[in-house]
Amino acid sequence: MTAWRNISLWMDQLDEPLKARAALEHDLDVDVAIIGAGYTGLWTAYYLKLQAPTLNIAILEAQTAGFGASGRNGGWLMGNLLNDDRLLAKLPAEQRRASFDLLHGIPDEVGQVIAFEGIDCDYRKGGALYCAARYPEQEASQRDYLRHLHSLGLTHQDYRWLSAAELSEQLRIARPYGGIFTPHVATLQPARLVRGLARTVERMGVRLYENSPVTHWQPRQVRTAKATVRSHWVVPAVEGYGVSLPPLGRYHLPVQSLLIATEPLTCAQWQSIGLEHGQAFSEASRQVTYGQRSADNRLVFGARGGYQFGGRLRQDFNLTDSEIGLRRYLFGELFPQLKDVRISHAWGGNLGMARRFHPHMLCDHQSGLALSGGYGGEGVGASNLGGRTLAALILQQPNELVRQPWVRQQGGLANLSTWEPEPCRWLGYNAIIKSFVHEDQTLANPGAAPWRRRLASQLANAMESLMR
Ligand SMILES: Cc1cc2nc3c(=O)[nH]c(=O)nc-3n(C[C@H](O)[C@H](O)[C@H](O)COP(=O)(O)OP(=O)(O)OC[C@H]3O[C@@H](n4cnc5c(N)ncnc54)[C@H](O)[C@@H]3O)c2cc1C
pLDDT tens digits, one per residue of 209-251: 999 999 999 999 999 999 999 999 999 999 999 999 999 999 9
For domain 123-188+254-352, which architecture applies?
A: 2-Layer Sandwich (3.30)
pLDDT tens digits along 339-366: 899 999 999 999 999 998 899 999 999 9
The DSSP string of 409-427 is -SSGGGGSPPPPPTTHHHH
- Cα separation values, 24 from 29, 59, 60, 109, 330, Å: 12, 10, 8, 32, 45
Contact 190/292 with Cβ under 8 angstroms?
no
Give distance in angstroms: CA of 366 to centre of ligand 1: 27
DSSP three-state, residue 108: helix
Q: For residue 106, name the pLDDT band (cuts at 50, 70, 90).
A: very high
Query: Which residue out of 81, 347, 351, 388 has the highest number of ligand 1 atoms within 8 Å of its CB and is therefore the one to mutate?
Result: 351
Instruction: Note the pLDDT tens digit of each residue in 165-193.
Output: 999 999 999 999 999 999 999 999 999 99
Whole-number Å distance, alpha carbon 38 to ligand 1 midpoint, is 6
Q: What is the mean predicted confidence (pLDDT) over 43-64?
A: 98
Q: Is the CB of 244 under 6 A from ligand 1?
A: yes
How far is it, in rounded angstroms, from Cα 407 to Cα 465?
A: 24
Least confident of 90-99, 185-194, 398-407, 425-434: 425-434
Neighbouring C-beta atoms of residue 111, cutoff 10 Å: 16
40 C-alpha to ligand 1 centroid (Å) = 8
pLDDT of 304 above 90: no
Under 8 Å between Cβ of 62 and 244? yes
Q: Whole-model pTM above 0.85? A: yes
Average pLDDT across the chain, whole number: 95
Pick the atom of ligand 1 nearest to 372's CA.
Answer: 26
Amino acid identity at 150: H
> Are 138 and 129 spatial neighbours (Cβ–Cβ below 8 Å)?
no
Residue 1 is predicted with a pLDDT of 57
Query: What average pLDDT score do residues 397-415 get?
Result: 95
Architecture of the domain spanning 2-73+190-251+356-415: 3-Layer(bba) Sandwich (3.50)
Distance (Å, whole) CA 15 – CA 136: 44
| pLDDT at residue 2 is higher than 70 | no
- pLDDT (mean) for 314-322: 95
Distance 109 CA to ligand 1 centre (A): 20
pLDDT at 324 over 60: yes
**Among 132-136, 263-267, 320-324, 369-373, where is mean pLDDT lowest?**
132-136
Q: Pick 192 or 410 by higher pLDDT.
A: 192
CB 415 within 8 A of CB 360: yes
- For the Cβ of 249 lying below 6 angstroms from any atom of ligand 1, the answer is no
380 lines ligand 1 (CB under 6 A): yes
Question: What distances in angstroms separate CA 447 from CA 217, 284, 399, 450, one per listed residue?
Answer: 56, 20, 56, 9
